[in-house]
Each structure stands twice: as C-alpha cells, then as structure tokens.
Amino acid sequence: MQNRPMIDIILPNLNKARFIKDCISSLKEQTFSDWRCVVIDGFSDDGSWEIIQESALQDKRFELHQLPKSGLYNSWNFGLSKVSSPYFCILTSDDVWEKDWLETAIQSLDEHESAICAAARTRILYEDSQPGGILSNNLIGERFFMTDSTSPQLRCGVTDSVAQYFLGSIYASVHSVVLRSSILETGGRFAEDLGNAADQDWFMKIGLHGDVVYHPGIEAMWRVYKGQATELKEQEQKGKAIREIHSRNRQLIAAKLGGFGKEFIAIAEEYDKRLLEYHFDRPNFTNLFLQPLTEFPKLLRIFSESPKALITDFLCKLSGKSYFLEGSLAVARLAHESMERSSNYLQSQDPDICSAS
C-alpha cells in the first residue's frame, strides 16, 4: 500500500461493552492501516474499558485517555484537541464501518483539493447486528442533489450547507464522515449547549469550509437500540434547538452566498417562522388526532399543485409525522424554492464560489 497521510480516529466510549469489540474489529480490518486511534473513555464500569485496554496492548496505534463524565460533546471536543494528522474522523463505540471506508475517503479527499469532507451512506444496524434500511437523512440529500446510486459525487459546500439548513442533517451520523484537519484551525468543534442537536449544527457548518465528496456506494453502519445517547428528545426541546442552530448559522451561510445572501436571510427567517409554528409549537395531540381530519381536503389540493421535487420523505422529515399538514406543504415548498434558487445563483457565479475560502 502506498504511503498516505495518517488519519486520527477519535473513539469515544461510555459503557458500550456489548458493541465495542465489533467497533474495534471494523477499525482494525480497514484496508487503510496508517491510522492512530485516540480513545476517550468516561470511566466505563461495564468491562468495555478493559476490552479497549487489551486491544491497545496488542496494537500500539491506540492512544488511551479517561475523562470524568462531562457530556458527550465535551469528550468529543477533547478528542478533537488531540488531532495532529492531516485527516480525522470520529468512530462512536457502538458503530462500525465497511472495511474500505477509510481508504476510499482519504483517496477522494486527495483527489479533490476543494473538498473538506468525505461522507458515506449510513445504514441502520440493529442491536442484534442485523442490518436495516438506509437512513432517510441520506436519501433526502441524495434526491435533492440528484445523486447516482453508486458513483461518488462532489457536492458544492455552500449548497450543502443551504440544504442542511432546510432539510436538517443529510449525513445522519458523525462516524460517516472523514474531514481534513485544517477545519479545526477555524472551527470544527461541537457546541456543548445544544443537547443532542449539536450534530446538526456541526454538519451545517462543514460546507462553509469546503466541498463534500459523497459516497453512496460505501456504507457506515449506525447502531440503533433503546437508551442510546442519540435518541430523539421531546418535540419542544427539538424546536428550541433548531431555533438556536438556525440563528447561529443564518448569517454565516448568507456570507457565502454573495449577492443572494440578503434574499437567503429573508427566506430563511420566513421558513423558520413557518416551520416552528407548524411543527414544534403545536401540542402533539393536535398534530396526531385533529389535523389529518380537518386538513386532508386542503392537503389533496395543495399537494396536487406542488412540484414533483417535493418528495414524500422530504415532507415527512419536515412534519415529523406520517401524514402532511397544509402547513407542512407550504413550508416544504418554501424550502425547496429557496434551495433551488440558491443553487442556481451559485452555478451562475464563478465556480470558485463553491469552494469555501
């Protein structure tokens, strides 16, 4: 194998004895072997720390740390502070990779100087290690970017951030991306005041630093089980976090959109108002029982008039339910039009605008 830049892998762990062996095995089985693994353990007491120590004795590429429990993102940020290699990624201790993921990711970043990030598809992996479906986050992004099912795709970073603003995270899990360490010079850390929504804020900012190479033919396996740290919070908490994430990123995205920036801000503010009004500020019982009955006739009319690009899973993502409200469609239409106009604006400019400076 040719010499390639070394990559630092941040592996946070807290009591994942059931899954840590599979996780470490997927790392050791990578076809790319020039890596260092920085383990951040929160003083686990279920035997997982001992499993990690045994692996480290057999493989000097592991560097072990233990930190008092101080929050998920605090430990991740500690790991990021240890990065010293050209590339880095985070491998959560209950997840696994396909064996050629690191090699594929690093090669694609070597080939595309404008890219700051390589991203894989994410497939659900159940507690019993049986595979499930592809996460809807990825599928929504693929439909917006019109991604071929197997070929790598270079996505304009600014457009990627715009899509993340309106669609939410389209890469699903932090372990599905590999990044250039240069992003850490100007940011790249996780906000520690957003709860479990900090991932969404982090993903939204990536495209502001460079383009993204997306690999639909490579899969990162995301473990799903009861009690995991990334389980969804209550609707009200989620709405509050989205308010804050959008507030922090709206001006940053607009600054990358040049002459379209002011228009983007106006559309984004209107979108946020509608999104929060229709989906996060209504009582759950109203959404669940009353709205489908009262708004179904309106739904049929509006849906028939909407562009075909307003796909079903996009609307489900926005509403968070298996049906659509009139407001859902209005919000979806606004988001779709804004993304299309942003993308068209960028394409009409100098191509360099798609590479963050």
What single string gives the DSSP state of each residue in 23-66? Answer: HHHHHHT-S---EEEEEEE----SSHHHHHHHHHHH-TTEEEEE
The closest alpha carbon to 333, from 352, 300, 311, 301, belongs to 311
Mean pLDDT of 48-71: 92
For residue 297, what pLDDT is reported?
46
Question: What residues does 165 pair with on adjacent strands?
Answer: none
Q: How many Å separate Cα 145 from the centre of its chain?
A: 15
For residue 150, what pLDDT is reported?
80
Window from 144-153, 179-188, 298-307 with minimum mean pLDDT: 298-307
How do residues 327-354 score in pLDDT, each as one tens digit? 555 656 666 666 677 777 777 765 554 5
For residue 357, what pLDDT is reported?
42
Select the more confidently predicted residue: 88 or 326.
Answer: 88
The answer to whether residue 54 scores a pLDDT higher than 60 is yes
Window from 31-45, 210-224, 238-252, 301-315 with minimum mean pLDDT: 301-315
Burial of 234 (0-12, 13-18, 19+ CB in 10 A): exposed
| CATH class of the region 7-224 | alpha beta
| Continuous H helices in the chain | 20-28, 48-58, 72-81, 101-111, 136-145, 157-167, 198-206, 235-256, 261-275, 284-285, 291-305, 312-319, 326-348
The answer to whether residue 105 scores a pLDDT higher than 70 is yes
The answer to whether residue 175 scores a pLDDT higher than 90 is yes
What single string gives the DSSP state of each residue in 317-331? Answer: HHHSSSS--HHHHHH
213 pLDDT band, cuts 50/70/90, is very high
* Alpha-carbon gap, residue 33 to 105, rounded angstroms: 13
The answer to whether residue 316 scores a pLDDT higher than 80 is no
For residue 281, what pLDDT is reported?
52
% of the chain with per-residue pLDDT over 70: 73
Mean pLDDT of 49-59: 93
For residue 235, give Cα distances in angstroms to 170, 241, 274, 331: 20, 10, 15, 18
* Tokens 């693929």 sit on residue: 142
- For helices 326-348 and 261-275, what crossing angle results, to 10°? 160
Mean of all residue pLDDT scores within the chain:
80
For residue 96, what pLDDT is reported?
92
The answer to whether residue 301 scores a pLDDT higher than 80 is no
CB atoms under 10 Å from CB of 134, counted, come to 16
The SS3 of residue 300 is: helix
The answer to whether residue 249 scores a pLDDT higher than 50 is yes
* Alpha-carbon gap, residue 207 to 45, rounded angstroms: 38
- For 215, residues 6+ apart whose C-beta sits below 8 A from its C-beta are 104, 105, 108, 118, 119, 120, 121, 152
Which part of the chain has CATH 3.90.550.10? 7-224
For residue 306, what pLDDT is reported?
44
Cβ density class 150-189: b for 16+ within 10 Å, e for less: eebbebbbbbbbbbbbbbbbbbbbbbbbbbbbebeeeebe
The SS3 of residue 118 is: strand
N- to C-terminal Cα separation, the chain: 33
For residue 321, what pLDDT is reported?
39
The answer to whether residue 271 scores a pLDDT higher than 80 is no
The answer to whether residue 326 scores a pLDDT higher than 80 is no
For residue 196, what pLDDT is reported?
84
* Alpha-carbon gap, residue 89 to 7, rounded angstroms: 8
Window from 12-16, 31-35, 122-126, 284-288 with minimum mean pLDDT: 284-288
* Alpha-carbon gap, residue 176 to 171, rounded angstroms: 7
Select the more confidently predicted residue: 147 or 109.
Answer: 109
CB atoms under 10 Å from CB of 99, counted, come to 16
